[in-house]
Amino acid sequence: MTATRPANPGHAPRRIGPFEVSAIGLGCMNLSHAYGVPPTREDAETLLHTAVEAGVTLFDTAALYGFGANEELVGHTLARHRDRIVLASKCGMTGVEGRRVIDGRPATIRRTADEALTRLKTDVIDLYYLHRLDRQVPIEESVGAMAELVDAGKVRTLGLSEVSAATLRRAHAVHPIAALQNEYSLWSRNPEQGTLAATAELGIALVAFSPLARGFLTAEPPEPAALTERDIRRNMPRFDATNYPANLALRARIAEIARDAGCTTAQLALAWLLSRGDRVIPIPGTRSVDHLRENLATLTLDIPAEALHAAGLVLDADTVHGPRYNESTLKEIDTEPCGKAG
């Protein structure tokens, strides 16, 4: 399967295994999960349809998002576009009785995949990730179960999320891994500690989630005091009262670089990621059609290399204030620590 090329010739499509995808994909999580009150169903469907028509061909969801609601939304809305897109979802972290549970046991992976196929209204998932490493289950067992899904024709290619280079190599020895999805942005540089090099060596795509730093690098960075009770950023140290003011000062310098380069802060951040290698694919999420178009317009811009370099010096793992997750969540993450913030 080859997905439709994006309209802009300035950034060639990128590859995930056998698939050719748009250089910027769409993360669908915040249409159902994590960042406050989700948009209306009508608005979410409009955004997804607009993304397809604008040339996006990689759509990313997961069983966890909305505890199945996001897969159902994406499946229902994009069913008529199925032959134009690469559809990615995730197993290994789901909602159980209202709680987030990491479970990489083979039986759970098989059951989650069958449930996902039903919600996504498809007979095969193009790219299926293990959402988190279950430290109680050897990665070889989890990936082995996922490989069985490939053999059964339920999944086309496999991926991992939030794992280290060492875990990636162990998994790749069991079954070829097409994509590694890790958090990667100007302020989250963990992939630079090993997985960026490993994916390049092994021919694996690095799909960058939260490329706009969870909204921090957009035109309207979040105001922590205004975040809803269920917004996951309330528990992220970079947004707390101790660290956020200092991070906003760094953001002001990034915004100045963007203005001088003739682009928005978000476009500068996305262009920086695109410059990290032709296998790096950012998947920003948004609820706004205007922001979607702004993000995709990055592909038409020629932002000076000097601006990208300057942005990377102003905001990085050593200048950012606070770790990306709280202590309990960091214990669940397998990625390499990075900088003074971990």
Which residue ranges make up each domain of the chain?
14-215+266-301
Those residues of the chain that have pLDDT short of 50 are 1-10
Q: Give the angle subtended at the CA of 102 by the CAs of 115 and 48, to the nearest 5°.
A: 50
Determine the pLDDT at residue 306: 98
How do residues 106-138 score in pLDDT, each as one tens digit? 999 999 999 999 999 999 999 999 999 999 999
14-215+266-301 folds as TIM Barrel (3.20.20)
The contacts of residue 290 (CB under 8 Å, 6+ apart) are none
**Which residue among 65, 128, 244, 325 is the active-site one?**
65
Nearest to 227 by CA among 124, 218, 236, 219: 236
User: Which region, left, alpha or beta, applies to residue 97 given φ > 0 means left and ψ of -120 to 50 means alpha?
Assistant: left
How do residues 198-228 score in pLDDT, each as one tens digit? 999 999 999 999 999 999 999 999 999 999 9
To the query of whether residue 65 is one of the catalytic residues in this protein, the response is: yes
Determine the pLDDT at residue 195: 98
Determine the pLDDT at residue 236: 97
Determine the pLDDT at residue 340: 63
